[in-house]
Amino acid sequence: MASIDWQQLNIELLQCTICPRLVAWREQVAREKRCAYLDWDYWGKPVPGFGDRQGEILVVGLAPGAHGSNRTGRMFTGDDSGNFLYPALNEAGFANQPQSISRDDGLELRSVYITSLCRCVPPANKPTSQEIENCLPFLRRESALLPDLKVIVTLGRVAFDRILRLYRQEGHDIPRYKFTHAAKFKLPGELPWLVVSYHPSRQNTQTGLLTREMFAEIWQSAALLSQTNSG
């Protein structure tokens, strides 16, 4: 039954055209391409989540990259953010290899499922608040389909704020947590732990705001918390 639910979710996601600006931009990028990828058949559609559907850890980013996920069709694949993320997941034992370049490169995730707030690439990597809101039902359904979810890792402030807002919209009494890298918050009741990270964007990693050591700490925390009783 769960397999059918996942299939239906992804069918609806791939058919989504609710945000005209994003539809136009994702298709324009796919047509015009970057010179380095002229021989690629760009994905140019909403990007589904990816990973272990029995996993305890849900990783939430912001949106696909223009020449990363919008090109490859897989989250955090083929761009600088993915080049920082997947080696860290591999080192922590969550990925079978440290590189992700295409949907058929053999990458497998263990205990981790990766998704994002917004599934279509936005101009300047900045989706509007309404565009994110339009996409959140897909994230809500994904999290509900993860039967063993114990930890959510938010990559960046926007993901952090939106996850908290999502739970508040569902009626949960969520405190006003402060966005701080490596912070860990146990959400109320049966809700999962929340682990907070800077986004592994090129700007953050090249300026040293997020180092490999700092990022490794995130996955160590997620691994430890995923082994605890979330209740």
What the block records as the tokens of 13 is 């996601």
Kindly report, residue by residue over 39-58, the tens digit of the pLDDT.
Answer: 999 999 999 999 999 999 99
pLDDT at 222 over 90: yes
What average pLDDT does the segment 118-147 reach?
97
- Looking up tokens 């402060």 gives 178
What average pLDDT does the segment 5-29 reach?
97
* Paired sense of beta strands 57-61 and 112-116, if any: parallel
Q: Classify domain 2-226 by CATH number.
A: 3.40.470.10
Confidence of residue 230 (pLDDT cuts 50, 70, 90): very low
Confidence of residue 2 (pLDDT cuts 50, 70, 90): confident
Pair 117, 59: CB distance under 8 Å: no
Confidence of residue 231 (pLDDT cuts 50, 70, 90): very low
The residue ranges of every structural domain in the chain are: 2-226
> Residue 39: how many CB atoms within 10 A of its CB?
6
The per-residue pLDDT for 1 is 62
